[in-house]
Structure 1
Amino acid sequence: MSPVSQFPTTTTPSMEALPKDHPLRLMYPDNIYPNGSYYPSPFGKTRYWIIGPEEGTKVTLIHGITTPSIVWKHIADHLASKGFRVLLYDLYGRGYSEAPDLPSDANLFGLQLALLLQYIGWESTDIVGFSIGGATTAIFTTLFPHLVRQNVVLMSSAGLMEPRDSSQVPHVTHETVSGLRALQTEALPRFSEVLASTRREGLVTGLQHAFETIGRSDKRFLIVHGTQDEVVPFAEAHKIRGYIPQAELVPIEGASHYMPMEEGSWPQIIMDVLCKM
């Protein structure tokens, strides 16, 4: 797939350009949730879904570095069934959202959500961010606090980790995560470049200022972290809480990094955290 020109930014196509019977699209179909659509943002098309009753409390779920919105399947469906109005979307360069020819930095991803909320007409939302989605949540809450309703959940959140090279990144053992990563690497021309840029440009580390800023916020913060997280170690939760002392720390005993998809972990997240928002 060759880059497509879209004013004002050149972008690389997403999974949308792949044949319907491509293994990646079979594993992660574009109708995994109902009510899917695209927002033609100035930085590339963003795929999003809105599920749950219109009158429900609004909550936005932000996925991590490699696995797009499929990571929320159990949690999103349950929240919608409990009356929440749930927004899901793929970050730039993942899944069905195009990759802009720009650094994958914190400002880009914070702006992506702000523009999307404006497009769909949401004045504010609670936010749950997983892994670099947690870092994106911190950036978004720093830049656009008026768009955050009340609750901010930082789940297995990155943002304060020590820099490390690719040889130090733990091997992915979760079958769905590893499969999606391999297929996206193979099928999306700039996927590996986007991942490298995301790590290099400051969504994994270096966000002390953002966490320090939101630590002075009047929002309600919950830090949710698996005690057996091998990707973003549990100690990172304590580092984040050091900047947000008013936050409630919720350990998920025995959970790995991929707890939103992990049987035995995601039901606990729903019962102990999300349904109490």
Structure 2
Amino acid sequence: MIWALAVLAGLALWPVIREARRTPVDDVVRASAPGEFADLSLGRVHYRWLGRPRGPVAICVHGLTTPSFVWEGLVPHLERMGFRVLLYDLYGRGYSSRPEGAQTPEMFTRQLSELLAALGLDEDLTLIGYSMGGVIASRFTAAYPGRVRQLMLVAPADMGIEVSRATRIARDVPVLGDWLFHMAFPRQFRASLARQQALEVSVEDLGDRQAGELMKRGYLRAVLSSLRHSLRRPLEQAHRQIAQAGVPVLAVWGDADETVPLAGLGLLAQWNRNAHQEVIPEATHLLPATHTEALAGHISALTESLRRG
């Protein structure tokens, strides 16, 4: 009986032990960061300015699991369009802090708003949101429509996402779900990265850098919290507010995306009849890195039409 209890206790504590072995995102780790840092109300945020030294500002908001480096292949295209590009890591990812508390759209909107204030940005913005970054960009736009010149959504999770049965249990069941997620997600994520190796991508060492996130303390907690609090419900109200405000919207979908269903295209059309939507053939959920040129073409087309308009 004692042996059995010891085994159960060991299993229960194993995620805690594994997490303690992961690398804390501290000053030592941040010394290798390619960008700069802003001290905000919930911690330090890593950001980078790329593209043109002057010009209209495009802010790229990354998704659930991959930090801001996912945009590196798109940046040269945005630069050619004349943009000054701001990349930043969401809380819990990359080199940014891992604050306690629920990772809600409101928290991420606050992060972006505070970052803009810290950088002294008060001009009209182009927001480009990928996957969960679409949720954040849309929430920000609904809250501050006068600040957004155009909203670009890339494989947006705003209309819902597909998750595995194990992930759904982890998301929906407290305590047990936490244990299950910390035990199962790393293997599931590595398996998806292995499948990804066959794809040609525009971001250098993308898979290795994605896998590196699993070794950072607080990353798994952040991903699970975001699944629970930012990716549970569609953003119908926010998109209706954006439509009412008249902010131009572009949504780009991949027809081979198994994470964000293409059915979301129809939902967005119901909520915002003026939204311009494009589908990239054979593109998976990784389309910012695999179909970068096609994505850039769609962004350029809307940008040029607004400049002429």
For Structure 1 versus Structure 2, the TM-score category normalised by the shorter chain is 0.7 to 0.9
Match of 1:184 among 213, 218, 223: 213
Could you say which residue in structure 2 is the equivalent of 1:174?
196
Distance of 1:206 and 1:99 partners within structure 2 = 25
Letter in 1 for 2:110: L
Higher strand share: 1
Note the C-alpha offset of 1:251.
0.9
Which residues of structure 2 form unaligned runs of 5+?
Answer: 1-22, 169-187, 198-204, 304-309
Distance of 2:38 and 2:61 partners within structure 1 = 16
| Helix, strand or coil at the partner of 2:158 | coil
Q: Would you say how many aligned residue pairs link Structure 1 and Structure 2?
A: 250
Could you say which residue in structure 1 is the equivalent of 2:269?
241
Larger radius of gyration: 2
Distance of 1:162 and 1:183 partners within structure 2 = 24
| Helix, strand or coil at the partner of 1:159 | helix
Higher helix share: 2
Distance of 2:217 and 2:76 partners within structure 1 = 31
Output one character per residue of 1:203-236: Cα deviation in whole Å (capped at 9) or x when no partner: 3534222222222121110111111111112112
Return the TM-score normalized by structure 2: 0.74
Note the C-alpha offset of 1:82.
3.7
Q: Is the 8 A contact 2:159 2:268 kept in 1?
A: yes
Distance of 2:129 and 2:80 partners within structure 1 = 20
Of the structure 1 ranges 49-58 and 128-137, higher mean CA displacement relative to structure 2 is found in 49-58
Correspondence 1:197-208 to 2 at 5 A: 197-208=225-236
Could you say which residue in structure 2 is the equivalent of 1:74?
73
Could you say which residue in structure 2 is the equivalent of 1:18?
29
Q: Is the 8 A contact 1:227 1:255 kept in 2?
A: yes
Shift >6 Å, 4+ stretches: none
Letter in 2 for 1:114: S
Q: Is the 8 A contact 1:46 1:89 kept in 2?
A: yes
Distance of 2:274 and 2:146 partners within structure 1 = 19
Could you say which residue in structure 2 is the equivalent of 1:85?
84
Compared with structure 1, are the counterparts of its residues 181 and 166 closer, same or farther at alpha carbon in structure 2 (3 Å cutoff)? farther
1:259 pairs with 2:287: yes
Could you say which residue in structure 1 is the equivalent of 2:202?
none
Note the C-alpha offset of 1:258.
0.5
| Helix, strand or coil at the partner of 2:74 | helix
Distance of 2:196 and 2:285 partners within structure 1 = 9
User: RMSD across aligned C-alpha pairs, in angstroms?
Assistant: 2.4
Note the C-alpha offset of 1:15.
6.9
Distance of 2:142 and 2:280 partners within structure 1 = 26
Return the TM-score normalized by structure 1: 0.82
Q: Is the 8 A contact 2:58 2:86 kept in 1?
A: yes
Output one character per residue of 1:67-107: Cα deviation in whole Å (capped at 9) or x when no partner: 11111111112212442111110111000111111210000
| Helix, strand or coil at the partner of 1:100 | coil
Could you say which residue in structure 2 is the equivalent of 1:49?
48
Compared with structure 1, are the counterparts of its residues 138 and 37 closer, same or farther at alpha carbon in structure 2 (3 Å cutoff)? same
| Helix, strand or coil at the partner of 1:104 | coil
Q: Is the 8 A contact 1:49 1:87 kept in 2?
A: yes
Compared with structure 1, are the counterparts of its residues 193 and 157 closer, same or farther at alpha carbon in structure 2 (3 Å cutoff)? same
Q: Is the 8 A contact 2:162 2:258 kept in 1?
A: no
Distance of 1:210 and 1:120 partners within structure 2 = 26
Q: Percent identity?
A: 28
Compared with structure 1, are the counterparts of its residues 165 and 258 closer, same or farther at alpha carbon in structure 2 (3 Å cutoff)? closer
Compared with structure 1, are the counterparts of its residues 94 and 240 closer, same or farther at alpha carbon in structure 2 (3 Å cutoff)? same
Note the C-alpha offset of 1:55.
2.9
